[in-house]
A and B are shown apart, each in its own frame.
Chain A
Amino acid sequence: MDTQVLYNIVHQEAFGLNIAIYFYLTGLSAGSFILSTLAYGFGLNQYKPLGKVGVVLATGLLIMAPLFLLIHIGMPHRAWHLFIYLNFESPITWGSFLLVLYPINCLIYGYFMFKERMKPTRIFGFIGIPLAILVHGYTGFILAFGKARALWNTALMPILFLASAIVSGIALMILVCIVRDRFFSKAKKVSQELIFSLGRLLAWMIVFDLFLVACDLIVLSISHSDAQAAAQLILSGKFSLMFLVVENLLGKIVPFILLVNPRFRSTASVIVASILVIIGIFYMRYVVVLAGEFIPLM
């Protein structure tokens, strides 16, 4: 049966680019923080050079991220309502507390780290890990609570967000470490061992992320009709170029090959892979947010 919409209204966009950028920045922050605790919390000493960079990045990015929320909301001067009128069923309420506690914890953790006091550093590192996971995981719940949007309403969303957060965090860390070692260290030389070890970590996190994306897609494409429409939108519709080529081919598969194939084993290829990953994860956020609300509900 042919059905054709003769008239319907055009709905406003609910979440736009600002929210995608916000998710991206909290993801980078959480990823950097978790890497920074590898040495100072878990005692993996080969990652010690990451500790300070990690905490500075985590704090800086997380201070930037809520600014995009303030740009996004219509009434920024009422943002204090979030701390007075609490609806604990709403993920945004969880977030308003996490977005305060997490950077404060980062500052304390960083302070002790720079003062070289290992015991409190370790304690605040361990407090920070669940906070970092929650501060990014809750953004997955924000989308998952949009229960009529097939692309968002999945229990995989928080874990998918966390996996991509760690992927982007490692990639950012690699780039920052290379820039620091090359231009700002005394030796002016990049530590190959650290870079390759991070590269291997990145490669395997990419595999995990790809696995989650595949799980999500497979279930979407056989689920109810809205879910099939969403799968079609990202596989062959308007977002297919971004989703398939930019996010997954250039942002995950190509970097994975660059990182694991011994023929490409060089600092340059790790740099290229990291840049591709960072761009790819940005498009992941963009596609999830924008494609999720692209199909009109009525």
Chain B
Amino acid sequence: MKDDKKRYAMLIDLRKCIGCNACAVACKSENNVPLGVWRSWVKKVEKGNYPDSQEFFLPVVCNNCEKPICVTVCPVWASIKRPDGIVYIDPHRCIGCRYCMAACPYGVRYIHPTRKIAEKCTWCHHRVDAGLLPACVLACPTEAILFGNLEDPESEIAKAVAKNAVQVIKPEIGTDPHTFYIALDIDVVEAKQTEKKLREDKE
């Protein structure tokens, strides 16, 4: 496979997710993510009333969009989309203006508390460049996360995306996300903390 186009993508099978947070922990450890901020996390939502209820898990990572609004709004080209599709932030270029955070429809960006620059999940680009899988993919005990080159028809992810009903978060925003989900529930995506709970959490 020489000189073929590369487009990385991730597929998370929510039917297999058990909400163990191993991906979030592995991410924190791999990327040195400080306290209080997250590159990936697992949103947990309960639907229905007990005992007729079910808990749903939504692991969130950066969508590394095809048309990333964060790259559009970055005034200094610190956020760039690499040819392989990964949206990367140049730590030496970023001025910490927070515009990408304001514009990102998925809220995956944060300002590093001491470095004062924007950071986010890059599908562990440093590992991918070295031929390894992202930390969350390796950590997942149920192998719910797939990662690979979507342009390569022989790859596991290309086959899985082709053969399953997949969904992305907020397709209506028009950013063309490349983190796909199987069995994504719209209520789980849209569920918001109530104002009261938000205030309590912030305090």
B169 A85 Cβ-Cβ under 8 A: no
Query: Which positions in B face A, CB cutoff 8 Å?
Result: 37-38, 41-49, 53, 55, 60, 69, 72-78, 93-99, 101-107, 110-111, 115-117, 169-170, 172-174, 187-193, 195, 197-198, 201-202
B96 A297 Cβ-Cβ under 8 A: no
B107 A75 Cβ-Cβ under 8 A: no
Contacts A147-B173, A298-B106, A298-B107 given; does A3 touch B98 at CB 8 Å: no
B187 A3 Cβ-Cβ under 8 A: yes
A225 B190 Cβ-Cβ under 8 A: yes
- Complex alpha-carbon distance, A207 and B30, angstroms: 56
A297 B191 Cβ-Cβ under 8 A: no
B112 to chain A, nearest CB (A): 8
- Complex alpha-carbon distance, A156 and B118, angstroms: 29
Query: Which positions in A face B, CB cutoff 8 Å?
Result: 1-12, 14-15, 69, 72-76, 78-79, 81-82, 84-87, 89-93, 96, 142, 145-149, 224-225, 229, 237-238, 293, 295-298
- Complex alpha-carbon distance, A297 and B191, angstroms: 10
Q: Can you give 23 A-B contacts (C-beta < 8 A)? A: A3-B45, A4-B45, A4-B191, A5-B43, A5-B197, A8-B44, A8-B193, A11-B107, A12-B101, A69-B97, A73-B97, A73-B98, A74-B116, A74-B117, A78-B95, A86-B75, A90-B99, A92-B99, A96-B75, A238-B195, A293-B102, A297-B106, A298-B107
Q: Which of A10, A76, A78, A84 has the most CB of B within 10 A?
A: A78
Contacts A5-B191, A6-B45, A75-B117 given; does A93 touch B98 at CB 8 Å: no
Q: Which among B74, B77, B96, B102 is the interface contact of A149 at CB below 8 angstroms?
A: B102
Q: A7-B43, A298-B189 are in contact. List 20 more A-B contacts (CB 8 A).
A: A2-B49, A3-B191, A5-B45, A6-B45, A6-B55, A9-B38, A14-B98, A14-B99, A15-B102, A75-B94, A81-B76, A84-B76, A85-B76, A85-B93, A91-B73, A93-B75, A145-B72, A148-B104, A148-B105, A297-B107
- Complex alpha-carbon distance, A93 and B172, angstroms: 27
- Complex alpha-carbon distance, A259 and B184, angstroms: 56
- Complex alpha-carbon distance, A147 and B65, angstroms: 14
A72 B187 Cβ-Cβ under 8 A: no
Q: Which residues of B contact A14 (CB under 8 A)?
A: 98-99, 101-102
B44 A6 Cβ-Cβ under 8 A: yes
Q: Which residues of B contact A92 (CB under 8 A)?
A: 73, 75, 97, 99
Q: Which residues of B contact A229 (CB under 8 A)?
A: 192
B172 to chain A, nearest CB (A): 8
B111 A12 Cβ-Cβ under 8 A: yes
Q: Which residues of A contact B53 (CB under 8 A)?
A: 2
A18 to chain B, nearest CB (A): 10
A1 B187 Cβ-Cβ under 8 A: yes
A3 B46 Cβ-Cβ under 8 A: yes
Residue of B nearest to A95 (CB): B75
- Complex alpha-carbon distance, A91 and B187, angstroms: 34
- Complex alpha-carbon distance, A7 and B78, angstroms: 31
B169 to chain A, nearest CB (A): 7
Contacts A73-B96, A74-B111, A145-B69 given; does A296 touch B195 at CB 8 Å: no
